[in-house]
A and B are shown apart, each in its own frame.
Chain A
């Protein structure tokens, strides 16, 4: 006897341009069930969600069957749109692009209500929805850019709930958010599903988020189902080697041995401040926005220092000043005995400093070969001969675990993890002494994160590098760093070795960050 489930997917195959993106995927979600779909970038998990909602990109061909409440989805575009609006709510990964930047949050929620319920919406239900997602009525008057990432995602969820859907599809709803916001959004989704009895299809690469939320999970890879079952079974006794690898990657491994700092101060930051002018009313200059406020710290040669804080706390601004991309408004820095204020960093010192960017997709010029991009910083070492330059180039890609023939290829041919390795190769090509890592793994899949962090730890030992690692993830920082600085609203609020800091957090932000960690799978 089969019970009728809310969503039944049979033999779903989607191909785009002759290439199959997902093949013979089948699963079912019962009413009120929380189902997790796990996969890495390119595994087809988003395509699966789009296929279910009938939102496949033009040109994609789908076959197979998607039954909703035992009946197939309508074929006609208008009927499908109406059906989707009423029964399915969707939350996407990037709330900034999913919201209309020119509409106030309240108006967008009201529109979602008006579109999906026949009766005329009233103000109260917008407020009720805002309350339900943990926002206040005043947030209805704000535009998307005036909300934080977590608040925007809450607005998205409120819009998805407007039609009182039976199924909520959440596609990586937290991967663009920092740790604290991630935790609260996950709790919010869990609470809503419990309260309303809504079924959830939760799509993520983050095993811990899925484990915290879902009762049943399915792992897909390369468009095929790898494993499916109850959460404790799949994560407790994974049968497939791929799942075993994923689970192993999600478990924090013991701290790799790091090089000991030599004690000699390499970088000293003294009361560094960066203000940005903002336009005020009537073309007058408004009050300056202080991104970094009188930050002081020092970093020894060979030391690895972590800088932790929520989104928008000024971490990246600080990093840009340290590497000489931005100029401090006040205060200064002493790097290797030379005082500077950022962009006036002497050319001769730039070879000793490098930066690894957060987004591996944006940090390479799409029109230059990888070799040309990596060779660029060698301009800072004009004394090198042509043969030496080539050696450096080959060395730097081999040291990050890639072969020398990648140098001739273009950036789009590489995956995110490979690009981040290439970005690290570029950062190392001048043999710097300090590498600033701006969220080096947050754009990567969980299973690759471990590899990249391991690589960073190894390189640090081999080359005696000092790291300034920026992250919102305490766990990563705890694994890589000798010392942690916690930053909030432009100021450093707490500092200390990770063991001490994690054992006895003093500042409330540190405590919040620690609390936001998801339980291990």
Chain B
């Protein structure tokens, strides 16, 4: 403990490296699927179904003889796309709301907090059920459902971070310089809470992947012939006792992605935590 040099600030946190590398690998896998997969994911080959892993099909084939590796690649892409879009929706709407709440305070803050309470009260699943009843199931609706769920999360993180900064002297100095609340929020508050938001985004990304899997599993997310990891799990469910491998592959992919993203989030928050950073700063030696 004390033997470890804290000059290690220059090195990256190990869980950050592992997490980012793992998550990066899956993102790459998904991106490759856009231009190339070993087999087309819609190529049905009933004769070759339930093949185990082998040289022709690295991860084997499913009930319709589709190549499992190709499906995992495409499914990862869908999962990431849904989770990333949902995170983007959450940030785009939540961060401005949170900053506005912290900057203006009073009735604005009350409104934002009540709105986020309201959104919190509806889990993504309920929203997805609602949306698919109205507009039919699909990946886009899953994005919106999970995205709505992300809005209050980001609003709260942004507000919390900004509240800590609001009473700092440099914010008062900016007000004396004639900047309005909005300008202060963009110029001073947002850059200073960016690291908090990045960490939260990583965590929401992993939750989004889980949520997408859950929605697809109950049939409210991605629809065939497109595929996602959750959809693959759903297809494998009825065959689980006969062919457990079909469920293990997408299940393991989900677990690995989520673990990697959480590791990356943990590592990032350690990496960016100003309290740890301050150790090396001259103020400690005062």
Q: Hey, which bits of chain A sit against chain B, CB under 8 A?
A: 16-18, 21, 41-44, 46-47, 56-61, 320, 323-325, 347, 350, 353-355, 357-359, 361-368, 373, 376-380, 412, 415, 426
Indicate which residue in B2, B169, B174, B178 contacts A350 across the interface (CB closer than 8 Å): B178
Q: Which of B51-59, B60-68, B276-284 contacts A (4 or more CB under 8 A)?
A: B276-284
A-facing residues in B155-193 (Cβ within 8 Å): 168-170, 172-179, 187-188, 191-192
Which residues of the other chain, B, contact A365 by a CB distance below 8 angstroms? 170, 174, 187-188, 191-192
Q: Hey, which bits of chain B sit against chain A, CB under 8 A?
A: 1-2, 4-9, 168-170, 172-179, 187-188, 191-192, 279-286
Indicate which residue in A47, A59, A378 contacts B6 across the interface (CB closer than 8 Å): A59
A151–B121 Cα distance when bound, in Å, is 45
A323–B178 Cα distance when bound, in Å, is 12
Nearest residue (CB) in B for A39 is B286
Selected A-B contacts with CB under 8 Å, 20 pairs: A21-B285, A41-B283, A41-B286, A42-B286, A58-B2, A59-B5, A59-B6, A59-B8, A61-B2, A325-B176, A355-B176, A357-B169, A358-B169, A359-B169, A362-B169, A362-B170, A368-B187, A368-B188, A376-B177, A379-B178
Indicate which residue in A44, A57, A324, A363 contacts B169 across the interface (CB closer than 8 Å): A363
Which residues of the other chain, B, contact A18 by a CB distance below 8 angstroms? 5, 7
Residue pair A377, B170 in contact (C-beta under 8 Å): no
Which residues of the other chain, A, contact B191 by a CB distance below 8 angstroms? 365, 367
Shortest CB-to-CB span from B17 to chain A, Å, is 20
A379–B179 Cα distance when bound, in Å, is 8
A412–B282 Cα distance when bound, in Å, is 9
- A44/B174 contact (C-beta < 8 A), A59-B4, A357-B169, A367-B192 known: no
Shortest CB-to-CB span from A245 to chain B, Å, is 19
Q: Classify the interface of chain B: helix, strand, loop or mixed.
A: helix
Residue pair B176, A373 in contact (C-beta under 8 Å): no
Which residues of the other chain, B, contact A58 by a CB distance below 8 angstroms? 1-2, 4, 6
Indicate which residue in A16, A47, A368, A377 contacts B176 across the interface (CB closer than 8 Å): A377
A239–B9 Cα distance when bound, in Å, is 41
A90–B110 Cα distance when bound, in Å, is 44
A315–B2 Cα distance when bound, in Å, is 45
A16–B280 Cα distance when bound, in Å, is 8
Which residues of the other chain, B, contact A320 by a CB distance below 8 angstroms? 172
Which residues of the other chain, A, contact B9 by a CB distance below 8 angstroms? 17
Known: A58-B6, A362-B168, A377-B177. 16 other contacts (CB 8 A): A17-B5, A17-B7, A21-B285, A42-B285, A42-B286, A46-B284, A47-B285, A57-B284, A59-B7, A61-B2, A357-B169, A363-B173, A365-B174, A367-B191, A376-B177, A380-B177
- A16/B6 contact (C-beta < 8 A), A41-B286, A380-B177 known: yes
A56–B3 Cα distance when bound, in Å, is 12
Nearest residue (CB) in B for A324 is B176
A185–B60 Cα distance when bound, in Å, is 78
A198–B108 Cα distance when bound, in Å, is 57
Residue pair A46, B178 in contact (C-beta under 8 Å): no
Residue pair A46, B285 in contact (C-beta under 8 Å): yes
Shortest CB-to-CB span from B181 to chain A, Å, is 12
Nearest residue (CB) in A for B172 is A325
A368–B190 Cα distance when bound, in Å, is 12
Residue pair A373, B2 in contact (C-beta under 8 Å): no
Nearest residue (CB) in A for B165 is A365
Which residues of the other chain, A, contact B176 by a CB distance below 8 angstroms? 323-325, 350, 353-355, 377
A127–B7 Cα distance when bound, in Å, is 46
A61–B3 Cα distance when bound, in Å, is 8
Which residues of the other chain, A, contact B1 by a CB distance below 8 angstroms? 58
Which residues of the other chain, A, contact B5 by a CB distance below 8 angstroms? 17-18, 59
Indicate which residue in A16, A41, A376, A415 contacts B173 across the interface (CB closer than 8 Å): A376
Residue pair B281, A412 in contact (C-beta under 8 Å): yes
A359–B170 Cα distance when bound, in Å, is 10
Indicate which residue in B169, B175, B280 contacts A17 across the interface (CB closer than 8 Å): B280
Which residues of the other chain, B, contact A367 by a CB distance below 8 angstroms? 191-192
Nearest residue (CB) in A for B286 is A41
Nearest residue (CB) in A for B2 is A58
Which residues of the other chain, A, contact B281 by a CB distance below 8 angstroms? 412
Residue pair A357, B280 in contact (C-beta under 8 Å): no
Which residues of the other chain, B, contact A415 by a CB distance below 8 angstroms? 282
Shortest CB-to-CB span from B207 to chain A, Å, is 29
A41–B282 Cα distance when bound, in Å, is 9
Residue pair B286, A46 in contact (C-beta under 8 Å): yes
- A357/B172 contact (C-beta < 8 A), A376-B177, A379-B177 known: yes
- 10 closest A-B pairs (Cβ-Cβ)? A59-B6, A17-B7, A363-B169, A376-B177, A377-B177, A357-B169, A362-B169, A41-B286, A365-B170, A367-B191
A500–B147 Cα distance when bound, in Å, is 69
A378–B188 Cα distance when bound, in Å, is 17
Residue pair A57, B279 in contact (C-beta under 8 Å): yes
Which residues of the other chain, A, contact B177 by a CB distance below 8 angstroms? 376-380
